[in-house]
Amino acid sequence: MLGVPVPDATQWDQIERVADCGYAVFARLERLAAQGELIYQDDTSVRILSLIKENQQLQAQAESQGFSRSQERTGMFTTALVVKVGERMICLYYSGRSHAGENLAALLEQRQEDQGKPLVMSDALSRNEVDETAVIRCHCLAHGRRQFSDLEDVFPTECQVVIEVLKQVFDHDEHVREERMSPETRLAYHQAYSRPLMNELKSWLEKQFDDRLVEPNSSLGKAVAYMQGHWETLTRFLSVAGAPIDNNLVERALKLFIRQRKNSLFYKTEHSAYIASVLTSLIATCLHAGVNALEYLVALQEHRKEVFAAPEAWLPWTYQARLVPP
């Protein structure tokens, strides 16, 4: 398969053994992530051969009933949820029929009632939506900017107005990170320096339609409408401490799965996709914790009984305390 080595029986057995003890840790990470205060959310496409075969059967069935296409869902997704829990970051991946909103909703079912509403950052696609009354939704300002940067060659003057304002806002956020400001100090900083810029931008956007300077159905008009329609969620960083400004963190996390997709092309079954999701979740969480992922997975396999007995003691940031010195 395009030079990609296929694991032999022994290697598959090793993969299954690592994944087997990883399930318990993954479940523990899920419970912790469900209590997180900030969740980044996104998904990408994935190919699973068993589901592709199922799609073909559904299509044939639909055609036999006089339909041009199946009425059942045929899409396949890999969702990434990157969750901030205190000082820790947990990465969770899911592959299958469920999209990002459904996977997030399933995770939040484990959330304790006394935790309050989490901040959830995503783009504005409908498949990211959950019960929006249960979360504080933030939308990615970088996606809003992209609506205009993609049109800069066609509408250079108008797009430059938006791009220049948002560049200053993103520069402010970069300064916040460099100075390692607390969420409350960051909020005050953005309110002092970014809010005036965003207020001016909002007035400019309104003027485009009010003075009929932009055709609403044009590509530029749709970009303006996007910003206006999601203004509250795009500017959540101006009203809620800790609200992020973009979704770049989870987009970077998805690159792990995108790289796998480019190398291996597909998974054979939903089970193999699930194994990959579990292992990649552990590896990505190790990366955020500054832990050597290979050493961690080896430790899980070598201490299988202890892992199953107390998975909370074998998280990437706790496991080293359980290792017996040589």
DSSP 215-261: -TTSHHHHHHHHHHHTHHHHTGGGTSTT--S--HHHHHHHHHHHHHH
Q: What is the mean pLDDT of residues 249-277?
A: 89
Q: What is the pLDDT of residue 2?
A: 37
Give residue-wise pLDDT tens across range 131-153.
999 999 999 999 999 999 999 99
Residue 238: CA atoms inside 13 Å, Cβ hemisphere, count? 18
Give the closest residue to 80 by CA, choosing from 212, 277, 217: 277
In whole numbers, what is the pLDDT of the chain averaged over residues? 91
Pick from 222, 226, 229: which is nearest to 155 by CA?
222
198 has a pLDDT exceeding 50 = yes
Q: Does the pLDDT value for residue 326 go beyond 80?
A: no
Q: Measured between alpha carbons, how far is 123 from 247 in angstroms, rounded to an integer?
A: 7
Q: What is the DSSP letter of 275?
A: H
**Helical packing angle, 156-179 and 195-210, nearest 10°:** 160
pLDDT surpassing 70 at residue 252? yes
**% of the chain residues with pLDDT over 90:** 78
Counting every residue, how long is the chain?
A: 326
Query: What contacts 39, CB < 8 A, 6 or more positions away?
Result: 33, 81, 82, 83, 84, 104, 118, 119, 120, 121, 135
CA distance 38 to 58: 38
pLDDT value for 72: 84
- State the Cα–Cα distance between residues 35 and 133, nearest whole angstrom: 17
Asked whether the predicted pLDDT for residue 13 surpasses 60, the reply is no
Asked whether the predicted pLDDT for residue 41 surpasses 50, the reply is yes
The residue type of 80 is A
Strand-pair partners of 89: 84
pLDDT band at 1 (very low <50, low <70, confident <90, very high): very low
Q: Are the C-beta atoms of residues 320 and 36 closer than 8 Å to each other?
A: no
Give the Cα separation of 154 and 308 in Å (integer): 59
Mean of the pLDDT values across residues 227-245? 97
For residue 262, the SS3 value is helix
β-strand 136-139 against 119-122: which pairing, if any? parallel
Global pTM value:
0.90
**Angle between the N-to-C axes of helices 141-149 and 156-179, in degrees from 0 to 180, rounded to the nearest 10:** 150
**CB contact at 8 A, 123 and 143:** yes
